[in-house]
């Protein structure tokens, strides 16, 4: 995830604009502009203690360290807030091209990133929802989100060792998606997305070692696909994807290596049905344990693999 996090930080820092915004009497302003020249001294502003609301100035960096915010935090366009061991009783919102970076922090409301924002929630708790919008970058490690986690047209969304009690939805992501070792209390859906790449680098869609109480739906995506070692409480549906691309990311993602196949569905335990339909590119389906049916149709080429256990095997997966 390092390369992707650096991409997000670069996006935020290079998009900084100074935009004035009204500040209420009980708002605390915070933020130090970045240095003008490389090597110039830089001392970011640090807030501690109790505050009503906090507004991070446009194009600046603000650090909350052990802060207790009784209201909301708003990060103005191009600004960045780093919240360390802090509590926010309201919500945190990042304006366009702004950044939110949380570590050991609790937010009672929502965490929201507007277009081109960066939102990263590490070892933290969000009692509301996490939502990011067009071209935003987002992810979390070791956190708990009591609501839903939504990427709506975002750059990417990566989740590692995180609990999300609501739905996880990724729509129109641009450079793939990594979900590894998470616990999801409802459904997971990835659709209309792509693993954008140049000729040197390709990410993928990876769901590995997750516990999902509901269904997993992966549809209408372009790029390599890995669905391995998950426990799924309802159905798995993989449809209308184009996986006919080679992945190349030796130190990224769940596997920390390049998968052996462009599409693979391996060693999952599925309480419902598995439906693999209308996909382009070879998909390996191997050693899955399925309570319901394994149904495959209209895939080109037909899936390969074997050793699957299912109540019924139908269509192109009859012999798998």
Q: What is the pLDDT along the chain (320 residues), one digit of tens a residue?
A: 433 443 344 334 434 444 445 556 678 999 888 777 777 777 889 999 999 999 999 999 999 999 999 999 999 999 999 999 999 999 999 999 999 999 999 999 999 999 999 999 999 999 999 999 988 889 999 999 999 999 998 888 899 999 999 999 999 888 778 899 999 999 999 999 887 654 445 567 889 999 999 999 999 998 888 999 999 999 999 999 998 765 555 445 676 555 555 789 999 999 999 999 999 999 999 999 999 999 999 999 999 999 999 999 999 999 99
Same domain assignment for residues 117 and 200: no
Q: How confident is the model at residue 257, as a pLDDT?
A: 56
Given 124, 150, 176, which residue is the final one in a domain?
A: 150
145 inside domain: yes
Same domain assignment for residues 144 and 175: no
Residue of 221, 1, 12 lying closest to 113 (CA atoms): 12
Beta strand residue intervals within 222-261, DSSP E: 225-228, 231-232, 236-239
Same domain assignment for residues 286 and 192: yes
Same domain assignment for residues 52 and 197: no
As to burial, measured by CB atoms within 10 angstroms (0-12 exposed, 13-18 middle, 19+ buried), residue 9 is middle
26 inside domain: yes
Same domain assignment for residues 195 and 309: yes
Tell me the C-alpha distance between 143 and 123, whole Å: 4
262 inside domain: yes
Q: How confident is the model at residue 143, as a pLDDT?
A: 98
∠ CA 114-116-120, nearest 5°, is: 75
Q: How confident is the model at residue 265, as a pLDDT?
A: 96
Quick check: pTM over 0.85? yes
Same domain assignment for residues 234 and 127: no
Longest dimension (CA), the chain: 70
Same domain assignment for residues 171 and 146: no
- The total of structural domains in the chain comes to 2
258 inside domain: yes
Tell me the C-alpha distance between 230 and 169, whole Å: 17
Q: How confident is the model at residue 12, as a pLDDT?
A: 46
Given 150, 180, 208, which residue is the final one in a domain?
A: 150
70 inside domain: yes
Same domain assignment for residues 18 and 49: yes
37 inside domain: yes
60 inside domain: yes
244 inside domain: yes
- 247 lies in which domain range? 167-320
Q: How confident is the model at residue 16, as a pLDDT?
A: 43
Given 96, 123, 150, which residue is the final one in a domain?
A: 150
Same domain assignment for residues 4 and 137: yes
- Strand, coil or helix: what is 104? coil
Same domain assignment for residues 127 and 37: yes
Same domain assignment for residues 7 and 50: yes
């Amino acid at each position: 995830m390092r390369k992707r996090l650096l991409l997000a930080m670069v996006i935020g820092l290079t998009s900084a604009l100074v935009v004035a915004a009204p500040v209420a009497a009980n708002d605390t302003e915070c933020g130090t502009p970045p240095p003008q020249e490389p090597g110039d001294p830089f001392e970011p502003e640090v807030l501690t203690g109790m505050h009503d609301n906090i507004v991070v100035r446009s194009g600046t960096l603000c650090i909350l360290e052990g802060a207790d915010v009784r209201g909301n935090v708003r990060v103005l366009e191009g600004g960045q807030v780093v919240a360390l061991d802090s509590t926010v009783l309201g919500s945190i919102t990042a304006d366009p091209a702004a950044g939110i970076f949380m570590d050991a922090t609790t937010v009672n409301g929502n965490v929201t990133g507007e277009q081109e924002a960066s939102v990263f929630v590490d070892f933290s708790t969000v009692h509301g929802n996490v939502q990011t919008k067009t071209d935003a970058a987002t992810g979390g490690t070791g956190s708990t989100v009591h609501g839903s986690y939504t990427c709506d047209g975002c750059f990417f969304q990566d989740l590692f060792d995180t609990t999300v009690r609501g739905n996880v939805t990724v729509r129109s992501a641009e450079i793939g998606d990594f979900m590894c070792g998470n616990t999801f209390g409802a459904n997971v859906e990835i659709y209309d997305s792509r693993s954008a790449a140049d000729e040197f680098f390709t990410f993928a869609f990876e769901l590995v070692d997750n516990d999902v109480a509901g269904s997993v739906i992966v549809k209408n995506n372009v790029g390599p696909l890995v669905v391995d070692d998950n426990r799924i409480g309802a159905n798995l549906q993989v449809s209308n994807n184009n996986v006919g691309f080679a992945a190349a990311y030796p130190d990224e993602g769940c596997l920390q290596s390049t998968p052996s196949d462009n599409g693979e569905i391996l060693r999952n335990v599925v309480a419902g049905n598995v439906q693999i339909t209308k996909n382009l590119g070879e998909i390996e389906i191997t050693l899955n344990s399925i309570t319901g049916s394994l149904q495959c149709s209209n895939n080109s080429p037909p899936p390969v693999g074997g050793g699957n256990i299912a109540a019924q095997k139908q269509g192109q997966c009859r012999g798998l």
